[in-house]
Amino acid sequence: MRKVLLVSALVFMWSCNDSRTKEVEESPQGDTVSEFLQMPDEPTQRIRLNLDEANKLAQLPLDCIETEYPNKLNQVLGNEGDLESPRDLHPIFYGCFDWHSSVHGHWALISLLRQFPELDRADQIREYLKTTITPENVRVEVAYFNRPHSDTWERPYGWAWLLQLATELHQWDDPLAEELEETLQPLTDRIVQLFMEFLPKLNYPIRVGEHTNTAFAMALAFDYAQATGNEALLDLIKSRARDFYLHDDNCPLEWEPSGFDFLSPCLAEIDIMRRVLPKNAFGLWMDDFMPQLKNKSFNLEPGEVSDRSDGKLVHLDGLNFNRAWILYGLANQYPEYVHLRKVADHHLSYSFPNLVGDTYEGGHWLGSFALYALNHAQ
C-alpha cells in the first residue's frame, strides 16, 4: 500500500508546480566542514579534520600522483600502437596505480587546498596542478576516450570521480580553480556525454559493492549537474534513479559486505534517492526500503580487513568510509536519522588509523575516501 501511495504522490507532485519539490530537493546535503567537536557522551572518538590531519591526508596523493608504476591500465588493445606507457596514455592521471585513483587523488588535493589554503605544501600542489592540467594534456586524455573500444573505459566509477573533481573546481573561489576548470572542460564535457549516452540504454541497475555500482556513480554525477546547472544531466539522473530504485523493498543489508566491497549496495541507493526524491516521497520509500534505520538503537559493524597488503581485501576500509559518508549525508538532510551519526563515527574512526603507514595497496586511494567521509561529517 505504501508503494501505491508513493507512486501516486510522485505523479501528483510531478504534475504540479515543482517549486516546493525543488526547494526540498535542493535542501542542504551536508557542506564541507573543517572541524567538529568530540561529544563527551559518545563512546567513539570522532576524527577532527583540522590542518594537521589535512596535511597528513594531502601526503597520500602526493606520494602517488607521480608514481607511474605499478600501474593497472585495464585497457582493450585495438592494435600494437595502443601499447604505450601510462604517462603517454594519460599525461594527467597516470599515477596512483590506476586512472580513477589518480583522478580522486587530484580531487583530494583540490578539496584540501580549498578548505586549508595554508597547507604545508600548498605552493607545491598549486604548481603541480598548473603544470599538469594543461590544454595539451587534456586533449590527450580526451583522445583516449575517443579511441575504438575506449568509450566504456572507466564506466561509471572513473567517470563519476572526474565529475566530482570538476565539481570541486567549480565550487572553489580561487583564480587557479577557474583556470583549471576551464582547461579541464573538454574532458568534463566528454564524460557528461558518456553518461548521457549510457544511462538511457541501461535497462537494469548494477547493484554491486565495487566500481560498476550505478547508484554511487549517479550520486556524484548528480552533485556535478546540480552545482553547474546542467539540467539535462540532472533530469536524466532523476528519471533513471526512479526507474531503477523506486520499487525496491527490504534491501538485505545483512548480506553485506561481500569480501571485496568498498561500496555498500544498499546504502548507495539511499544516497542517490535522498537526492532525487522530495521529502515525503523519500520518507515513504525508506519505510519500505530500509525501515530499520529509524530505530535509535540501529547498529552496523564495520568491515574487517584481514590482510592490508591484499589490494582487494583492503577494499573493506573503503567500505567503512563509504558507509560513513552516506550515513552522515542522510543524518544531515533528515533530523529523524541523526542517531546514525554514531554509526558513521564508528566506521570512520575504525578505519582512519589504517591510513598512517599503509601499504601502497590501500595508500594510493583510501585517503580520498576518508576525506570524502570527513567532508560530509558535521
- Portion of the chain with pLDDT greater than 70, in percent: 88
Which segment of 57-71, 279-293, 355-369 scores lowest on mean pLDDT?
A: 355-369
Angle between helices 231-245 and 265-276 (to 10 degrees): 130
In this structure, the number of other CB atoms found within 10 A of the CB of residue 40 comes to 5
Q: Largest Cα–Cα distance of the chain, in whole Å? A: 63
Structural domains in the chain plus CATH codes: 2-8+49-376 (1.50.10)
Residues 6+ apart with CB under 8 A from 353: none
Model confidence, pTM: 0.90
* Predicted confidence band of residue 356 (pLDDT cuts 50, 70, 90): confident
**331 conformational bin, left if phi > 0, alpha if psi -120 to 50, beta if neither:** alpha
- Does 104 score more than 90 pLDDT? yes
pLDDT tens per residue, range 61-93: 999 999 999 999 999 999 999 999 999 999 999
State the cell numbers at 295. Answer: 530505530
The C-alpha cell at 141 is 586524455
For 119, the 3-state DSSP assignment is coil
Closest CA to 249 of 13, 25, 6: 6
Q: How far apart are CA 76 and CA 150, in angstroms?
A: 7
Residue 169, amino acid? L
| 165-190 pLDDT tens trace | 999 999 999 999 999 999 999 999 99
Section 212-226 average pLDDT: 98
pLDDT at 16 over 90: no
Question: 10 Å Cβ neighbour count for 239?
Answer: 13
For residue 40, what pLDDT is reported?
33
Q: Is the peptide bond before 257 cis (omega within 30 degrees of 0)?
A: yes
Q: Which of 107, 93, 100, 88 is nearest to 65 (CA)?
A: 93
Kindly state the helix (H) or strand (E) to which residue 196 belongs, with its residue range.
helix 175-198
